[in-house]
Structures are given as structure tokens and as C-alpha cells.
Structure 1
């Protein structure tokens, strides 16, 4: 035993009456899962809404989206999904996520 620290050592079957140690607690499945950031989720929901395809929609390949009416996008959609109506801020944040995903400095 270490002279500086008094530590009681227990081994299975020693002084614990021969009982196996209790199982180690495990976190609930999915408890600490991290989903996509809210900005990306909201953007996806907005672009994927086919009732507003005249304002914003997926491109033909479905790999990016096009804002067809920037004025309506800013005045109608941005305040519904975000706490602002600034198109430039939306584009800036979109670019930040793009460069982060690509692993390149922005």
C-alpha cells in the first residue's frame, strides 16, 4: 500500500461476500447524440418546402439550392425561420458552414 495515500483495494470474491461487482452504468442510447446544427436544420426545412419553390428551391441536381426571389426570401422566410431578415447574414453563415464542411479555412 502506498504510504502517502490510504487506499483500500478490493478484489472480486475477497471481502465483498463473493458477489460480483455491480454492472457499470451506461448512458441511455441516443442521450448524447448530436444532430445537425439548428441553422442547417432550419435551412433544410425551408428549402425542402415545395410550397415556396417560387422563392427558394433545390437545384435540378438536388445538391444545392437557389433563392429565386431574394426580397421575398428576406422579408417573408428568414423571419419565419430565423431571428433576423438579413439576407447577407444568411449567406455569410451559409458560407461558414460550407467552408467548415469542406475542411478549408474561410
Structure 2
């Protein structure tokens, strides 16, 4: 009974279904290798082990459960550009400093 709880209303025990708070909504990525006979059982085991101890009122909305695999294109296909050396960076900084010194001299009217 995910999202449903017993509550006493007007002296009678009733089952109440809570509306989820979208501010508290979260997702989990369950490894496909989760050990279980059925994958749904693996999701349940993962939930009980990794989520419930920290959020006892949490539940799984099975209508939004997606089973698939995510490929990290950044991890597999990204080719980082080489970094500039410290000497190149220092040379750029010195060139900018020299340029600004000349500009200040021009503004101040110094020859």
C-alpha cells in the first residue's frame, strides 16, 4: 500500500492516500545487476536497503518506473582539450599587464 496509510477520521479507521509533495520527489538509479530473481524484486530490495532507512515514508510509484540502461556519452565519448602550460598562461598575463600599463600611461597623459 505505497502512499496509503491508515488514519482515524471521525472515530473510524480509514485508508488515506497522500498526494505526493513534488518538492520532495526524487529518483534512484538501480543497478541492472541487482541480485534478485525478478527485476521488480531487485528494485524492491534496493529500495528497502538504500532508501527506506533514510526516508521511511517514501514509496515507489510503479507507474513511473522505467527499466532500461543509461549510457554516459560524456564518459565514453568526451575528448578533453589539452591544458595550456603554466609558462603560456604567465606569458599571457604579462602581455595583458604591459598592455594595461601602456593604456594607463596614455590616459594619464604621460609620455
Question: Which has more radius of gyration?
Answer: 2
Return the structure number with greater relative CO, CA threshold 8 A, min gap 6: 2
Per the TM superposition, whether the score is higher than 0.5 is no
| TM norm structure 1 | 0.19
Larger proportion of strand: 2
